A and B are shown apart, each in its own frame.
Chain A
Amino acid sequence: MDSHTLTSGLQELRPRLLRFARLQLRDEAAAEDAVQEALLAATSRAEQFQGAAAAATWIFAILKNKIIDEFRRRSREPATNTDYEEALDESIAAQFDGNEHWNDYPVAWSDPGASLEQKQFWEIFEQCISALPDKTARVFGMRELIGMETDEICKELKISSSNCWVLLHRARLGLRDCLSRRWFGES
Chain B
Amino acid sequence: MLSCRQATELISQGLDRALTMRERSALLVHQAICKGCRATDKHLQFLRQATLAWRNNNQVPPLNDEHSHRKNKD
Enumerate chain A interface residues (CB-CB to B < 8 A).
Answer: 16, 19-20, 53, 56-57, 60-61, 64, 96, 99-102, 105-109, 112-113, 115-116, 122, 125-126, 143-150, 164-165, 168-169, 172-173, 175-176, 179-180
Contact of B66 among A16, A99, A122, A147 (CB under 8 A): A147
Q: Can you name 9 A-B pairs with beta carbons within 8 Å?
A: A16-B59, A16-B60, A99-B3, A112-B42, A116-B50, A126-B54, A148-B64, A148-B66, A168-B15
B32 to chain A, nearest CB (A): 15
* Distance in angstroms between the alpha carbons of A100 and B5 in the assembled complex: 5
A148-B64, A165-B9, A165-B16 known; A122 vs B57 contact (CB < 8 Å): yes
What are the interface flags for B55-74 relative to A under an 8 Å C-beta threshold, 1 for contact and 0 otherwise?
Answer: 10111111110110000000
B interface bracket (residues with beta carbon within 8 Å of A): 35 or more
User: When the two chains form their complex, are residues A150 and B16 in contact, meaning their CB atoms are under 8 A apart?
Assistant: yes
User: When the two chains form their complex, are residues B46 and A122 in contact, meaning their CB atoms are under 8 A apart?
Assistant: no
Contact of A149 among B46, B61, B64 (CB under 8 A): B64
CB contacts (< 8 Å) of B5 on chain A: these are: 96, 100-101
CB contacts (< 8 Å) of A64 on chain B: these are: 63
User: When the two chains form their complex, are residues A165 and B59 in contact, meaning their CB atoms are under 8 A apart?
Assistant: no
Interface assignment of B28: CB less than 8 Å from any CB of chain A: no
User: When the two chains form their complex, are residues A56 and B4 in contact, meaning their CB atoms are under 8 A apart?
Assistant: no
* Distance in angstroms between the alpha carbons of A180 and B55 in the assembled complex: 21
Interface assignment of B20: CB less than 8 Å from any CB of chain A: no
Which residue of the partner chain A has the closest CB to B68? A149
What are the interface flags for B28-55 relative to A under an 8 Å C-beta threshold, 1 for contact and 0 otherwise?
Answer: 0000001110111011101111110111
User: When the two chains form their complex, are residues A145 and B55 in contact, meaning their CB atoms are under 8 A apart?
Assistant: yes
* Distance in angstroms between the alpha carbons of A106 and B16 in the assembled complex: 22
Contact of A172 among B12, B53, B66 (CB under 8 A): B12
Interface assignment of B25: CB less than 8 Å from any CB of chain A: no
Which residue of the partner chain B has the closest CB to A150? B16
* Distance in angstroms between the alpha carbons of A144 and B43 in the assembled complex: 15
